[in-house]
Amino acid sequence: MKERSILKNKYYLYLTEFFSGVSVMAVELGASRLLAPYFSSSQIVWTIIIGTIMIALALGNLWGGRTADRNPDPDRLYRRLLLAAVWIAAIPVLGKYIILGISGLLVLTISTHFLVIAAFCACMVIFVFPLFLLGTVTPSLVKYTVDSLEDNGKVVGTLGACNTIGSILGTFLPTFVTIPAVGTAVTFLLFSGILLVIGLAYFFSARTCWRTCLAAGILFVLCTLLGSRGGFAFWEKDLTYEGESVYNYLQVKETEDRTILSTNVLFGVQSVKMKQEGLTGMYYDYALAAPVMAGLHQGTAGRVLVLGNGTGTYARQCTRYFPQVQVSGVEIDDKITQLATRYFDLPETVDVTTYDGRAYLQAVDTQYDVIQVDAYQDITIPFQMSTVEFFALVRDHLAPGGVMVVNLNMHSDGEGSINQALCDTIASLFPYVSTVDVPGTTNRELFAAVDGDPVQWLAQRRAALPAGELRGQMERVSQGLIPYVGGAHILTDDKAPVELLGMRAIDDLIQQELAYYQEIYREEGLSGLLNRF
């Protein structure tokens, strides 16, 4: 083994182990934020990230231990650290293009398990190699740190403790400090920069490998300059706002007639504000039937609660069409609420609480005439807001004659579908349940009540509305409502596989929307597909 003076300082070796642990966890959390705008942040995606990273680390441990025994050259370890640093720094530059390239290829060739396969392939290409290199650190350092068998247990234990403590720091810093403050791209650059400094310090002290150090430094600077530019939706040129919060990727976009908030690059609109006051043409218009069903259209004072307030689209519509009603919202992401005030004209009369929807219901005893549940997005369905225990809380917070309206954001039918599970769960608690599909969208609105049939309430009460757009909309809702008969697919706090059910619905949507293009690709190849555009 080469004699390097810096290796005689065990504190430097412990720092190497410490910052290796920091970087592994920082990359893991950064991976979740890099993938979330494209694949969601569901438990499925997290499982893929953790699984692939564990594979990379395990392989790195095995290979690192064998190479340390065969050729215990510390220069090789620190060259691997420099390579890992440069690779991690390149993730903000190339990662989004790799993700979209993989997604574009797979969406043309597969119809089932798209999210799982695409996310897994993206993780393998982007993250496995640098984390494999970091996995070689511990066995290599053991080789350089242990001097004798008398204290080898103490030394190895100290190395393990340094790695674990670093992992703890690398878990908390990105989530609570760097990602909210400076974003995912800069987070990758910060922690790759730490690895770079560790490697450069080694080679500078040994006065060797100057070209390697220079190349690594130049590449890091280039990645820093390029990686901090642009955003996740790099094809969008005129975004009003793009940023990140603790919970979400956030994008605000202006069109001629509306302002739109998206929390996912690939899965549509989360909230909207029409620049001309009126109906939105979206599911919010159908959800306005709930206050009419509850009799709030007659000038009666009442309370409306929105769980998943977003930027306040539904709250704003309720204050417009039912001005005497007190509207409250619950939104877990405080940054979305800030955007609601800044870009979406959230009325000051709407009281928004930053909290989880279920936890909020457990903390208050207020009863509401209407409770809207709008916390479901693509396959990111909070399981705790999909179970019989949750809907029992909603039922208990409804005033007499109250109505719950739930936005089921994916048309999915058939035995074992996500909508069947949600509807069966709700029907086990509410004797009156009905649904209506929103034309031109993937949304379905569900109305549920305890004291009477919402379908009959709407039929009786819509006639009292003045002639105009709201009355016309209520007639459309009334014509589309279908009573729902419950079944046995009940979701509970113990068992609610909403991610798997949601993934199945996404697969169905992809198959329906892209079947035509997939057939062209199979028959004529990429050239035939390009000729269609």
Q: Which residues are catalytic?
A: 374
**Dihedrals phi, psi of 72, to nearest 5 degrees:** -75, 60
- Would you list the DSSP string of 487-512? -S----SS---HHHHHHHHHHHHHHH
As a whole number of angstroms, the distance between CA 256 and CA 17 comes to: 54
What stretch of H or E contains 271? Answer: strand 271-274
Q: Is 519 exposed, middle or buried (0-12, 13-18, 19+ CB in 10 A)?
A: exposed
Pick from 191, 164, 264, 159: nearest CA to 29: 191
Q: Is 443 exposed, middle or buried (0-12, 13-18, 19+ CB in 10 A)?
A: buried
> 13: which residues sit within 8 A by CB, 6+ positions away?
7, 141, 144, 145, 159
Sign of CA dihedral 287, 288, 291, 294: negative
Question: What residues form DSSP beta bridges with 448?
Answer: 404, 433
Tokens 């549509």 — which residue? 268
Q: What separation in angstroms does the CA of 435 have from each of 201, 295, 386?
A: 65, 19, 17
3-state secondary structure of 341: helix
> How far from each other are the two terminal CA atoms of the chain, in whole angstroms?
61
Residue type, 197: V
As a whole number of angstroms, the distance between CA 368 and CA 396 comes to: 10
Measured in whole angstroms, how far is the alpha carbon of residue 177 from the centre of its chain? 18
As a whole number of angstroms, the distance between CA 113 and CA 44 comes to: 11
Sign of CA dihedral 220, 222, 223, 225: positive
- Would you list the DSSP string of 199-235? HHHHHHHHT--HHHHHHHHHHHHHHHHHHTSS-SSTT
Question: What residues form DSSP beta bridges with 403?
Answer: 370
3-state secondary structure of 244: strand
Tokens 């919202």 — which residue? 329
For residues 309 and 331, is the Cβ–Cβ distance under 8 A?
A: yes
As a whole number of angstroms, the distance between CA 364 and CA 144 comes to: 59
For residues 131 and 192, is the Cβ–Cβ distance under 8 A?
A: no
131: its two tokens: 């984390």
